[in-house]
Chain A
Amino acid sequence: MTEQEVVALINSSLAEEFELELEDMDADADIFDDFGLDSLDIVDMVIVLESAFKFKIREEQAIRKIRKLGEIHTFVLGKLNETEQAS
């Protein structure tokens, strides 16, 4: 999966789960202030990402610090790279 495809899959998965518009999925968007997500939604965001990319991230401390959509992109790309190198 290319970086572009990964970003597209993250955006489409989150847009579907949280009823967001794809055109609003800007990397600079604040997922709390701009998308209106809260702590319950972050739990579900993890489940959505785990399902889309078939990895386990619920224990990752880095997720707790994420605020921007772009940080989710970076986190997922890093996690996929990590998994690829390990295998």
Chain B
Amino acid sequence: MQMRRVVVTGIGAVSPFGCGFERLTEGLLTGRSAVTYCSALESVGGLRSQIAALVPTLDAKAIPRKFRRSMSAMSIYATLAGQEALTHARLDAAACQDGRTGVVIGSTVGSTLTTEEFFIDYLADHSLERMKSTLFFHIMNHSCASNVAQALDIRGRLLAPSAACSTGCQAIGYGFEMIAFGKQDRMLCGGADEFHPLTVATFDVMHAASINFNATPTRTPRPFDRDRDGVVCAAGSGILLLEELELAKARGANILAEIVGFATLTDSSNIANPNPAAMTECMRLALADAGLEAAAVDYVNAHATATEQGDIAEAQAIHELFGARVPVSSFKGHMGHAMAASGSLELAGAVGAMQRGLIAPTLNLEHIDPACAQLDHVRQPRETQVNLMVKNNFALGGVNSSIVLRRYPA
């Protein structure tokens, strides 16, 4: 079956660096850290990690109340990022209303903050009499996708993958496949997540949250570093507009990159601990999907959350497939781990760097862990033309995902 080619023509981002794709790229390339002390975490008993990478205050009222009333913070981030992606693509909103443009945006869970607020009220007297009509729309699992589709009047397919840290990567992959198979012409794809102390707690109870840098937050997380001590939670949304190549060319779109391969697979060996063989297989399948050999790849954007098990397993997996030849970096050191948004935010940042002829480095990588040392770690912005990159995201629950992205024109 002849597959259609799929390109990226618009990118939007709401990240710990602020609103906008440019801010994201600049933050990554200038080596800034968006990690800060987070006083909200003090109030949670037993929580040792007190840092996070939060989205700065933004103007949510840019979204009309009619649409905003059903949105928690994650949907607001996704909507602002989605609007930016369409604007960036110079795509007329009317072009999204014929059912050939769809949305695939996921989050880890629905809004934890709204859920918490509801139960605080509900548990006082078990009464539903004060329950607002829009509550469900904040906490349903497809909250971000539905809210973006409503706000932007997009009428094609709607899908809301929920695969924790693989969500954003999967969303782009599924959007790519829908266009490649001719089911849709355009897809607004990505992930979103908002901050809540319980997200940090999720990692802390597994001893996977950073706890040693509360007084020096910008020094963590530390992907691949000897002194890494775990995840720093973040919030935000990265949204990419994917289009079928010929349609994009016909309307004179500025093509930013081409998606050429995608794979996702389940590592059933353990629900929490990653298996390097499964990671290698995921990257191998993504390259096979693209019809390319590992030798063609000239950059890997790693998931690398700065946990001992994750970093070492991924370093082994990358080395198994690419040896020491391919430059590797992770963006978690700059902006923490935005969960469901991490894949799409990081891919967005990698495209931004690629367009400038640079590879953005891994921040806070000072002393490479000997167990991760077999790779070509990028530690300063590196001037080079990236023609083909692999983007990895690996999630708790055993959900592995990889995307292969090519510079356009190749």
A36 — which chain B residues lie within 8 A by C-beta? 66
Mask: chain B, 370-400; 1 = CB below 8 Å from A; 0 = not: 0000000000000000000000000000000
B129 within 8 A of A: yes
Choose among A18, A19, A40, A50 the residue that contacts B134 (Cβ–Cβ < 8 A): A40
B65 within 8 A of A: yes
B132 touches A18 (CB 8 A): no
Choose among A19, A47, A56, A58 the residue that contacts B65 (Cβ–Cβ < 8 A): A19
B65 touches A40 (CB 8 A): no
A56 — which chain B residues lie within 8 A by C-beta? 129
A44 touches B129 (CB 8 A): no
Nearest CB on B from A21, distance (A): 13
B133 touches A58 (CB 8 A): no
A36 to B61 CA separation, bound complex (whole angstroms) = 16
Choose among B61, B66, B133 the residue that contacts A44 (Cβ–Cβ < 8 A): B133
B132 touches A44 (CB 8 A): yes
- Chain A residue nearest in CB terms to B131: A47
Nearest CB on A from B219, distance (A): 42
A51 touches B133 (CB 8 A): no
A44 to B133 CA separation, bound complex (whole angstroms) = 6
- Chain B residue nearest in CB terms to A50: B129
Restricting to B251-267, which residues have a CB under 8 Å from any CB of A? none
A43 to B129 CA separation, bound complex (whole angstroms) = 10
B129 touches A58 (CB 8 A): yes
B134 — which chain A residues lie within 8 A by C-beta? 40, 44
- Chain B residue nearest in CB terms to A51: B130
A18-B65, A19-B65, A36-B66 known; A43+B130 contact, CB < 8 A: no
Choose among B61, B66, B132 the residue that contacts A47 (Cβ–Cβ < 8 A): B132
- Chain A residue nearest in CB terms to B134: A40
A18 — which chain B residues lie within 8 A by C-beta? 65
B325 within 8 A of A: no
Restricting to A36-60, which residues have a CB under 8 Å from any CB of B? 36, 38, 40-41, 43-44, 47, 50-51, 56, 58
A56 to B132 CA separation, bound complex (whole angstroms) = 15
Choose among A19, A40, A50 the residue that contacts B133 (Cβ–Cβ < 8 A): A40
A47 touches B130 (CB 8 A): yes
A40 to B134 CA separation, bound complex (whole angstroms) = 7
A36 to B65 CA separation, bound complex (whole angstroms) = 10
- Chain A residue nearest in CB terms to B64: A36
Mask: chain B, 120-162; 1 = CB below 8 Å from A; 0 = not: 0000000001111110000000000000000000000000000
A40 — which chain B residues lie within 8 A by C-beta? 69, 133-134
Mask: chain B, 83-119; 1 = CB below 8 Å from A; 0 = not: 0000000000000000000000000000000000000
B65 touches A43 (CB 8 A): no
B130 — which chain A residues lie within 8 A by C-beta? 47, 51
Nearest CB on A from B44, distance (A): 29
Nearest CB on A from B220, distance (A): 40
A31 to B360 CA separation, bound complex (whole angstroms) = 53
Mask: chain A, 23-41; 1 = CB below 8 Å from B; 0 = not: 0000000000000101011
A43 — which chain B residues lie within 8 A by C-beta? 132-133
B129 — which chain A residues lie within 8 A by C-beta? 47, 50, 56, 58
B133 — which chain A residues lie within 8 A by C-beta? 40-41, 43-44
A41 — which chain B residues lie within 8 A by C-beta? 69, 133
Nearest CB on B from A35, distance (A): 10
A38 — which chain B residues lie within 8 A by C-beta? 66
Nearest CB on B from A42, distance (A): 8
B65 — which chain A residues lie within 8 A by C-beta? 18-19
Nearest CB on B from A62, distance (A): 19
B69 — which chain A residues lie within 8 A by C-beta? 40-41
Listed A/B pairs (23) with beta-carbon separation below 8 Å:
A18-B65, A19-B61, A19-B65, A36-B66, A38-B66, A40-B69, A40-B133, A40-B134, A41-B69, A41-B133, A43-B132, A43-B133, A44-B132, A44-B133, A44-B134, A47-B129, A47-B130, A47-B131, A47-B132, A50-B129, A51-B130, A56-B129, A58-B129
Sort A-B residue pairs by CB-CB distance and give the 4 closest, nearest first. Answer: A43-B133, A40-B133, A19-B65, A44-B133
Instruction: Taking A41-B133, A44-B132, A56-B129 as given, write out 9 further A-B residue pairs in contact, using a Cβ cutoff of 8 Å, ordered by the A residue number.
Output: A18-B65, A19-B61, A19-B65, A38-B66, A40-B69, A43-B133, A44-B134, A47-B130, A47-B131
B residues apposed to A, CB below 8 Å: 61, 65-66, 69, 129-134
